Structure 1
């Protein structure tokens, strides 16, 4: 394990925006439990499609997209607040 100093652009939370040394742009630190939830939400979409339940798949995908949109908005707001251009 290596200890490094990182720049924190938001509160710690489950989806902190941080920049590691040597990186031009910050990233989003997602806690392990949140990552597992995200993975299960994707799996739910895939399972619904596999079972032919397009309506359920669409609903689950919409919720997943809304969550990712919120995360991306938090990231964008943090960059804007610190006058950092978006990397995309």
Structure 2
């Protein structure tokens, strides 16, 4: 294990925006339990598609998209607050 200092651009929480040493742009640290939930949401979409249940797939995908949109908005707000341009 190696210890390094990172720049913390948001509060900690389950999806902290940080910049690692030597990196131009920040990233998002997602806690393991949150990553598992995200993976589960994707699995729900896939399973609904496999069953041919497009209504459930659409609902699950919409929920997943909303969660990713919120994460992206938090990332973009942190960059804006610290006058860092977006990498995209």
TM-score (norm 1): 1.00
SS of the aligned residue for 2:74 comes to: helix
Does 1:31 find its partner at 2:31?
yes
Match of 1:86 in 2: 86
Which position in structure 2 is the counterpart of 1:67? Answer: 67
Partners of 2:38 and 2:70 in 1: CA distance = 13
| Number of equivalences | 88
Q: Which runs of 4+ in 1 moved over 2 A?
A: none
Q: Give CA-to-partner distance per residue, 1:48-78, whole Å, 9 cap, x none.
A: 0000000000000000000000000000000
Unaligned runs of 5+ in 1: none
Query: RMSD across aligned C-alpha pairs, in angstroms?
Result: 0.2
1:35 CA drift (Å): 0.2
Q: Secondary structure at the match of 1:17?
A: strand
Residue ranges of structure 2 left out of the alignment (5+ in a row): none
Q: Distance in 2 between matches of 1:4 and 1:20?
A: 8
Three-state SS of the structure 2 residue aligned to 1:16 is strand
CA distance in 1, matches of 2:55, 2:49: 9
Partner of 1:18: 18
